[in-house]
Amino acid sequence: MSTPSRLSRTLRPLLTVAAILAPAGVLAVLGLRAYSAEALLLRQRYERDQVGLVRLVGKRLSDEARRALVDLAARCQRRDPDGELESRFVTTHPLARHIFLVRGGQLVYPPAKAAPDIGHSAPPRGVPQGYLQTPGDLKRQYARRQRRIRRWQQLRGALSAEYRGKRRRALATYRKLAQTRAPSDEVPAALLGVARLRRQGKAREKAREAFRELRRRFGGRRDPEGIDYALIADVGLAELGDIDKLVGLHRRLAARRYKLRESVRSFYLRWVVRLLRRRASKSVLERVSRDTQRLFIAERFGRRLSRFGVAELSLQARAEVRSVALGQQMMLVLQRHGDAVVGFALAEGMLRRRLAEQQRDLITSSEGMRLGLQRVGAVDAAAAAPAPFYSAPLPAPLNYWILSARRPPDALLARERRGELRQLAVVVGLLVLMASGLFFTYRGVRRESDLARLKSDFVSTVSHELKTPLTSIRMFAEMLQQGIADTSAARERYQWVIIRESERLGQLITNVLDFSRVERGTRRYDLQGEPLEALVREAVETFQRLSDGEEVRILFAPPPDLPLVYADREAAVTSLLNLLSNAAKYSRERPDLKVRFVDDAETRQRGEVGVAVVDQGIGIPAAEQKRIFDDFYRAPGARAAGVEGTGLGLSLVRRHMEACGGRVTVESRPGEGSTFTLLFRLGEE
């Protein structure tokens, strides 16, 4: 190869790379310069957008608080608030924690003061005291006290009998004492004893009757501990009744229908919840427990409001919506409506969570911006953090808080860097796209060039392959015509050569026509069950007839009971003939061929059975074993060995086997020969 040619081959790839990189480099430089020119405008627009987002977040929070207060005022105009109204309101407006209503300077809801302690029943009025009593008055007072002492002794005797297990005697005493019409504490105690013994005796209905009589006769009075007899009767009825009775008792306790000390009321509320744990379903228990917890929290909130001062709260309320601090962690959002002040408690923790939700909805994490919340006048805990680029009070009614927005110092720089990288990525993508287009174009041109060369070689080879048998046929025909064969044996030999070369010519033409029909998709296959031994025997006999006079030996010993295979007879025989022909051509130094059958448990399990052609020829390198089945391809070793061929034989074998539902495999090592195996699908018996 000359020096200029070698230099041209060296420079051609470099020029191609330069042709690709030069335009891409120019595009990259121009793109980066254009992006740098727009960076300032992008920075200013980015800052305006961030400030706008922060203001939008603040407006949304304030509007949410304002809407909640308007809704609360509308609800309180329809009826005074209670636990149920508060529960529904808090569920609808999660920004609110508690609600309150002040009317006429008095806290209507939540109730803040506990019911006054109630001791023993007051002594009956109208009884003269001291020296003004007449002898008649003293006599009547003495008689009453004697009757009371007898009733007390009877009650003590019944309690003693009940304690010793004499229930009949105790029940009789209780019943006799309960029939007394005197308004003393021993009679309600006797009725409770009757109910207690009836319940122990499984007489639940009679126990209910005792509790109902207790409520009817003594519902307006209290026991020595200050507990309303109506509550005691309702507790007994609820314990003996169903779930609805317990829920109703809980509702009356929550609504303060009984005059009780606060500790007694709290005890019975928790007692109802404990009893429901054993009796009620999970949903009912959760609802009652939640209502009880909210009731206690609301009452604590009411006491907190009372300590703050209801009058002070009324003075700070205005017609416009505003907020008032209640301690360190709670704010009140309130508004005056005539002589009433309505509002709700807003926890700072809840407000921060709502701020985080708004930030998550409106601001992507890639912006690098973080929103903060602090009270007016409070010290900023994030002093070490970068200074906020925006800070302003929230709109009313949340003007007690300051909303600030911070971002890392390099947030804008990182944003600009991302833009530059994005521009560079676009340019690199264009470069890769251009390079890929050139590569695939070159590859397509190269493939078309190789295909054209293979077709040219194929035409040349086919011409030569056709010319060789035609020359032999013409030569021996002319010799017969000229009478050169003067004996009958010579004439028979010449005729046999003409017939053999004609069959070889026909086989070559058959391969070419088969390939043409397969390529166009007009080849029709008649697939049916064929005996494998008959197919192989026909191919071997045909090959032996065509190779008569050549030193080719075939070892062929079919086993008994070979199955049927699913194949086209002509295609299967042609495939075997092509394999035998190739094996003979590439095994001239050791022309012993072997045809063996592949019929074992493994192939049967896959639904296959095969036949293999084994030669001892030049072999095929591993890198060439996949390409030898391509159209028109001939391995370099075949060309170097001077073996003639068209490059269609193995291609036709592959196409025929795939059409029959089978496959062809090859095992070969250079210098050790090759084994080609045709695997057919098992046919139906």
Range(s) within the chain of domains with CATH label 1.25.40.10: 138-256
Q: Which residues pair with 645 in a beta bridge?
A: none
Contact 72, 79 (CB under 8 A): no
The boundaries of every CATH 3.30.565.10 domain in the chain are: 524-682
Span 588-605, pLDDT tens digits: 777 788 899 888 888 888
Beta strand segments in 384-515, E: 390-393, 401-406
Largest alpha-carbon pair distance within the chain?
Answer: 185
Say whether pLDDT at 118 is over 50: no
pLDDT computed for residue 129 by the predictor: 42
What is the Cα Rg of the chain in Å?
55
pLDDT single digits (tens) 129-187: 444 445 666 666 667 667 777 777 777 877 787 778 888 888 888 888 878 777 677 78
The CATH architecture that domain 524-682 belongs to is 2-Layer Sandwich (3.30)
The one-character DSSP state at 113 is S
Predicted confidence band at 344 (pLDDT cuts at 50, 70, 90)?
confident
pLDDT score of 350: 78
Strand partners, 372: 404
* pTM recorded for the entire structure: 0.44
What percentage of the chain exceeds 90 in pLDDT?
1
- Pick the closest to residue 581 from 487, 676, 490 (CA basis): 676
User: 313 or 27, which is more confident?
Assistant: 313
Q: Which residue has the higher pLDDT, 496 or 275?
A: 275
Indicate the CATH number for domain 138-256.
1.25.40.10
The DSSP H or E segment spanning 209 is helix 204-218
Q: Per mean pLDDT, which of 69-83, 375-389, 428-442 is the most reliable? A: 69-83
What pLDDT is recorded for position 125?
Answer: 40
**pLDDT over 70, % of the chain:** 67
Contact between 369 and 406 under an 8 Å Cβ cutoff? The reply is: yes
Per mean pLDDT, which range of 204-208, 287-291, 648-652 is the poorest? 648-652
70-82 confidence digits (pLDDT tens):
898 888 888 888 8
Amino acid, single-letter form, for residue 561: D
Which run of H or E residues covers position 112?
none
CA distance 295 to 79: 18
Segment 473-493, tens digit of pLDDT: 766 676 666 667 667 776 676
For residues 80 and 658, give the distance between their C-alpha atoms in angstroms, rounded to a whole number: 87
Cα angle at 673 between 672 and 674, to 5 degrees?
135
Lowest mean pLDDT among 21-35, 336-350, 455-469, 555-569: 455-469
Residue 460 has pLDDT above 60, yes or no: no
Name the most confidently modeled range: 66-75, 274-283, 458-467: 66-75
106-120 average pLDDT score: 60
pLDDT of the residue at 124: 40
Q: 341 or 300: whose pLDDT is higher?
A: 341
pLDDT of residue 515: 62
Helices assigned H by DSSP within 482-554: 488-520, 532-546
Gap between the Cα atoms of 419 and 281, Å rounded: 60
Q: Is the pLDDT of residue 252 over 70?
A: yes
pLDDT of residue 677: 92
User: 359, 289, 304: which is closest to 110 by C-alpha?
Assistant: 304
Mean pLDDT to the nearest integer, 237-257 = 80
188-202, 362-376, 610-624, range with greatest mean pLDDT: 610-624
**Secondary element (H or E) of residue 594:** strand 592-598
Transcribe 220-241 into DSSP letters: T-B-TTS-BHHHHHHHHHHHHS
Mean pLDDT, the chain, integer: 75
Cα torsion 119, 121, 126, 129: sign: negative
Query: What is the average pLDDT across 87-97?
Result: 84
**Can you read off the two tokens belonging to residue 316?**
């700070």
Q: Would you state the structure tokens that stand for residue 71, as one six-digit string?
A: 């809704």
CA distance to 313, 523, 665, per residue, from 657 (Å): 97, 13, 11
Q: Give SS3 for 319.
A: coil
pLDDT digits 0-9 by tens, 506-526: 666 766 666 666 666 677 788
Report whether 110 contacts 100 (CB < 8 A). yes
Q: Which residues pair with 554 in a beta bridge?
A: 593
Once rounded to an integer, what is the mean pLDDT over residues 27-35?
64
Residue 3 has pLDDT above 80, yes or no: no
Short-list 382, 401, 404, 400, CA closest to 391? 404
Type of residue at 616: Q
pLDDT level of residue 20 (50, 70, 90 thresholds) = low
Per-range mean pLDDT, top range of 110-114, 206-210, 548-552: 206-210
> Taking a C-beta distance cutoff of 8 angstroms, is the pair 332, 344 a contact?
yes
- Would you say residue 299 has pLDDT above 80? no
Mean pLDDT across the stretch 621-636? Answer: 76
Sign of the dihedral through C-alpha 430, 432, 437, 438:
positive
Q: Is 628 exposed, middle or buried (0-12, 13-18, 19+ CB in 10 A)?
A: buried
